[in-house]
Structure 1
Amino acid sequence: MIVVLSWGGDDANLQQLAQQLELRGTRFVKRLNVTIASHTVCMDAAVQPYRQVLQQQDFARLCTAMISGSGGHKFLRPQMQ
């Protein structure tokens, strides 16, 4: 088994997890160094303030094409197709 860990969170806990995975036969544990702990409970305190800022913004419909970074698919507004 191969496991990739995004190192966002408590370093000691993640290091312990990596060691346990290796002891259980994981052949390769890859540590991804990230600058912030996004997508972890470490960001929970930021959710409400961020939501409040977003609720104060005016959003408009998409007026330009967007290209997916994962599959290269083009997304357009219905009028543009």
Structure 2
Amino acid sequence: MARKKVKLQWIVDIVARKATYKKKVKGLMKNVRDLSILSGVDASRLENDQTKKVMNQENFTWQRIFKARDEVVKQQMKNRKKEIENLRIQ
């Protein structure tokens, strides 16, 4: 039984968009695998999938900097609350 044609448009819901993307990629990879078998040609995986979790040194450094900044801000907020509490006690 054939499905009706889906009109392509931007999916606003992030979760639904990611789920649809994963389904589309899975379907495309199945087609690539089938074509690879039929034609006898080796088809490699998408480069994006292979390097998705690989992080270069610059990105790793920036990520650490942002984490450290967030921790500093949280600690400053805790210190301010403690100072205010100490002033109230005095």
Report TM bin, short chain. under 0.3
Give the structure with the higher percent strand: 1
Query: Which structure shows the higher helix fraction?
Result: 2
Q: Which has the higher contact order (CA 8 A, sep 6+)?
A: 1
TM-score (norm 1): 0.24
Q: Report the TM-score, using the length of structure 2 for normalisation.
A: 0.23
